[in-house]
Amino acid sequence: MSIKITLPDGSVREYPAGVSSYDIALSISEGLARNVLSAVVNGEVWDANRPIEQDSSVKLLTWNDPEGQATFWHSSAHLLAEALESLYPGVKFGTGPSIEKGFYYDVDLGEKTLSSDDFVAIENKMKELARQKNEYVRQPIGKADAIKYFTNKGDEYKLELIDGLEDGQITLYTQGGFTDLCRGPHIPNTGAVKAVKLTNIAGAYWRNNQDNKQLTRIYGITFPKQKELDEYIFQVEEAKKRDHRKLGKELDLFAFSEKVGQGLPLWLPKGAMLRERLESFLKKAQLRAGYLPVVTPHIGSKALYVTSGHWEKYGKDSFQPIKTPDADEEFMLKPMNCPHHCEIYKTKPRSYRDLPLRLAEFGTVYRYEQSGELHGLTRVRGFTQDDAHIFCRPDQVKAEFIKVIDLVLYVFKTLGFDDFSAQISLRDPENKTKYIGSDDLWEKAESAIIEAAAERSLNTVTELGEAAFYGPKLDFMVRDALGRKWQLGTIQVDYNLPNRFELEYIGSDNQKHRPVMIHRAPFGSMERFIAILIENTAGQFPLWLSPDQIAILPISEKYSDYAEEVFFALQDDDIRGFVDHRDEKIGRKIRDAEIMKVPYMLIVGEKEQNDQQVSVRKKGEGDLGSMSWSEFSTLFQKEIKENLAGF
RNA sequence: GCCGUUGUAGCUCAGGGGUAGAGCACUUCCUUGGUAAGGAAGAGGUCAGGGGUUCAAAUCCCCUCAACGGCUCCA
């Protein structure tokens, strides 16, 4: 009997029933067969050597397909498991999936603790097993037999996984002497794995639950060629050079002090300058967008947070209340600005004509983050949100939402953040009691967000159960240099606080109505945003943001006075920088300015002084020749205008 | 908070049971220069903090603190 196989180009070929994707590849070319890792069969990824019994569409997957890589890495995880079982008999296995770059396996080694010193031995074992070119053999198994197998083996984690599987849907995979519970698919044999590197080791809770036992998670990555591994390692090293913690130190932007406290960044002069530039940039954009600036204190009475509900929900995990000397008063360091802003709303009766009311504040907040969570500037305990709260009528939610999206997109575009994703976080439909607010309000808010995102053609991913307890949200996610995802901009609908603070406005019907509140922050926090900005730009900020925009470098001390004169003149044109008065040669001054990533160097010596000019050198580009001060100023302002196009 | 690793000069790091090293930065002097490191000298450390083992601890052990890689969490 023969079957029809449709390939991605639309061509249809006939093969005998039971043909595998590998056979199909072989019929096309031997080279392709060598490279085929797995195949999409009727929309599902299958083993390349799994027999196909019916007419099917088949897309062969190789290393060039993300799904092909996923298969490769998943098979590598099994190879790691096989190596571990051979080196550490009795090891129990959790799960071992492929991840974005590589794979991991969670294992229970009993009393044994593993460290990265053990990696070489494990890697060598993996390579040895890979060279055996053992086939990955798929074997469907009944639930009872599967339970029997893993009971015999004594692997309670696999038994727990089987418990959640349906009889008839269970398969085992065996390569060499190792058999694992696995839905597959896998590559044809271990021989394709030529380069192996275990990258790190970590604790990970079984089934991602803090109440469960912590297993040892071993991360690794493999490649079909050693050269690809070398390239990968090189790229990781390059990425580490852009780490904001490293650059923050090198460029004197910020620091931490044990004495000040964990997660409490100190902004150094250059970092503070960068931060101020960003703030004034957004303040200007917000004024144009109809926001009204407000300022509120860093603390608020505990009663404020009892009203808002945050005391009940987060009180015990917050910095604890501050007490006054005599009375029983208690104040909280503010963990957010919204309760204060609600009180501003309430300072007078509001009419529907006043809405939307957009209150904006760069508000510094303090949250007691778990110590293990702190991370450079991206996760800190004291940070400043570019916060605003929009109080609007229910019918205005969608339009306001779109306006905020436009503002966020404008900010991202101006700063060159083109690699981001928009995440829509909705409530978990299975667990509605976790959330505050009626079904009706939630449905309206969720559809407003979805429609607004669609209207602005955002590339969105939707996460169920990720909404805040008070409302759905839209977050703008970016990656840091090492590929970790962080939330920057956020837009959140809130039906909770208006109720708790009993916010009202008088409608056109002369009745009282409840406004809707939208929390939003385009940067998210100054700290995290700047961290990502540093990594995106590798510390080479656009001219308008550079802490020092120019360095004036006198050829010798004789030209110091002239250098000062130029400096003061350019300061009048709002150009920031410094004169390098050190007793060093010009080459040295240039080198140091280059290392500090100063965008423009103005070299002044005898010639420049006589001609009332400056010799302009652009960082990374070199000598631009001599020009008058005002010519330089014009060129400078032009570049800034281009940076801020559309502003 | 949990698992693992790390902590030596301002920075990057070497050393390792017999009481401390390099390069850069810093200070002083010489040098007054033309587009990515001029030369010399000097100063600088309770080897994260505390406890223990030892004749002797920066080195070995324990605790604490902090950083790093993850996990969990994230108003």
Asked about A182 being catalytic, the answer comes back as no
Nucleotide closest to residue A558 (CA–C1') = B32
Q: pLDDT digits over A392-423, tens only?
A: 999 999 999 999 999 999 999 999 999 999 99
Q: What is the mean pLDDT of residues A601-623?
A: 96
- d(Cα A207, Cα A140) in Å, to the nearest integer? 24
Q: What is the DSSP string of A225-279?
A: SHHHHHHHHHHHHHHHHT-HHHHHHHTT-EE--TTT-TT--EE-HHHHHHHHHHH
CA-nearest of A65, A37, A63, A35 to A50 is A37
Domain boundaries, chain A: 2-62, 71-239, 274-298+334-537, 550-643
Summarize the confidence of residues A601-610 as an average pLDDT. 97
Q: Which nucleotide is nearest to A593 (CA to C1')?
A: B36
Strand B-contacting residues in A 172-231, CB cut-off 7 angstroms: 200-205, 208-210, 214, 216-217
pLDDT classification of A26: cutoffs 50, 70, 90: very high
List the single range of A116-120, A305-309, A363-367, A528-532 with lowest mean pLDDT: A116-120
| Class level of CATH domain A2-62 | alpha beta
Residue A17 dihedral angles phi and psi, to the nearest 5°: -55, 145
Selecting among A74, A310, A334, A519, the annotated active-site residue is A519
A74 marked as binding residue = no
Quote the pLDDT of residue A113: 83
Q: Map residue A1 onto helix, strand or coil.
A: coil
Report ipTM (2 d.p.): 0.95
CA of A143 to C1' of B69 (A): 38
pLDDT at position A328, please?
A: 84
Average pLDDT for chain A: 95
pLDDT band for position A116 (cuts 50, 70, 90): confident
CATH number of A274-298+334-537: 3.30.930.10
The reply to whether A370 has its C-beta less than 7 Å from any atom of strand B is: yes
List, for residues A448-489, the tens digit of each pLDDT value.
999 999 999 999 999 998 998 889 999 999 999 999 999 999
Q: Is A326 a catalytic residue?
A: no
Q: Is A389 a catalytic residue?
A: yes
For residue A277, what pLDDT band results from cuts at 50, 70 and 90? very high
pLDDT digits (tens, 9 = 90+) for A205-258: 999 999 999 999 999 999 999 999 999 999 999 999 999 999 999 999 999 998
Q: Do domains A2-62 and A550-643 have the same CATH topology?
A: no
pLDDT at A217: 96
On whether the CB atoms of residues A379 and A311 are closer than 8 A, the answer is: no
Provide CATH code, domain A550-643. Answer: 3.40.50.800
pLDDT tens figures, A127-163: 999 999 999 999 999 999 999 999 999 999 999 999 9
pLDDT digits (tens, 9 = 90+) for A74-100: 999 999 999 999 999 999 999 999 999
Determine if residue A78 is labeled as part of a ligand binding site. Answer: no
SS (H, E, C) A299-314: EEEHHHHHHHCHHHHH
CATH topology of domain A71-239: Threonyl-tRNA Synthetase; Chain A, domain 2 (3.30.980)
Decide if pLDDT at A647 tops 60: no
Report whether A338 belongs to an annotated binding site: yes
* Nucleotide nearest to A371 in CA–C1' terms: B1
Active-site residue identified among A50, A244, A275, A389: A389
Helix A629-643 with A560-571: angle, nearest 10 deg? 40
pLDDT confidence bin for A646, thresholds 50/70/90? low
Can you tell me the mean pLDDT for A97-104? 96
